Structure 1
Amino acid sequence: MLVALTVTVSVVALALAAWCGFAAYRDQPTKDWHFIGMAVVSVLVLAQLVIGIARLAGGEKPDDGSVIFVSYLIGALFAVPAAGFLSLTERTRWGSVTVSAGAVVLAVLEVRLHDIWGG
């Protein structure tokens, strides 16, 4: 797996978590700028999914199995969009908390993806 992309996704996800956490601290719901940040994170994770599947198709194998690896890739892809959707239904500070939590979950999934691949 591409270590640089995994680290980039983790750092950007944690930055999004901090940003939305700060908005929650200020008692603000998610705004349009937060959704742009979620889109950036989602595009990075989509690129990671494509690269991961391409590496699998190229013959490389993760240490812990391909099914688990692809499952984590798909879970990582939906972590932030699911939190963003939930934040649309909760237009209070708790919507920002939800996105922040989803971004932290994504960062943890990235660490696990690195471990599954053999890092």
Structure 2
Amino acid sequence: MLTALTIATGVAALVLAAWCGFAAWRDQPTKDWHFIGMAVVSLLAIVQLIVGIVQLARGEEPEQGTVIFVAYLVGSAACIPAAGFLSLAERTRWGSVTVAAGAVVLAVLEVRLHDIWGG
């Protein structure tokens, strides 16, 4: 697994969490700029999904099993879009809290992906 991509995705997720957490602290819902940030973080997670699948197709295997690795890859790619859709349903500060929580979950998933691959 590409360690640089994993770190970049985790750091971007934590930046998004801080940004949306600050918006929630200021009693603001998610705005267009937040959705652009979510798109960037989601793009990184999708690139990671593609890289992971390519590495599996080339015959490389994760240390802790292929099924759990693929499950974490798919979960990390779906985490931010799911939080974004939930924040659209809740147009108060709690929408921002939802995205911040989803971004923290993504950062934790990135650490776990690194461990599963054998880091």
Would the TM-score normalized by the shorter structure come out above 0.5? Answer: yes
Superposition misfits of 4+ residues, deviation over 4 angstroms = none
CA distance in 2, matches of 1:23, 1:48: 28
- Listed one character per residue, the Cα deviations across residues 71-107 of structure 1 (whole Å, up to 9, x for unaligned) are 0000000101100000000000000000000000000
Task: Give the corresponding residue for 1:24.
Answer: 24
Task: Give the corresponding residue for 1:69.
Answer: 69
Task: Give the corresponding residue for 1:96.
Answer: 96
Matches within 5 A, 1:1-119: 1-119=1-119
User: Tell me, which stretches of 5 or more residues in structure 1 are unaligned?
Assistant: none
What TM-score comes out, normalization by structure 2 length? 0.99
User: Tell me, which stretches of 5 or more residues in structure 2 are unaligned?
Assistant: none
What TM-score comes out, normalization by structure 1 length? 0.99
State the aligned residue count: 119
- Listed one character per residue, the Cα deviations across residues 14-40 of structure 1 (whole Å, up to 9, x for unaligned) are 000000000000000000000000000
Tell me which amino acid in the other structure corresponds to 2:112: R
Tell me which amino acid in the other structure corresponds to 1:99: V
Tell me which amino acid in the other structure corresponds to 2:18: A
Identity between Structure 1 and Structure 2 (%): 75
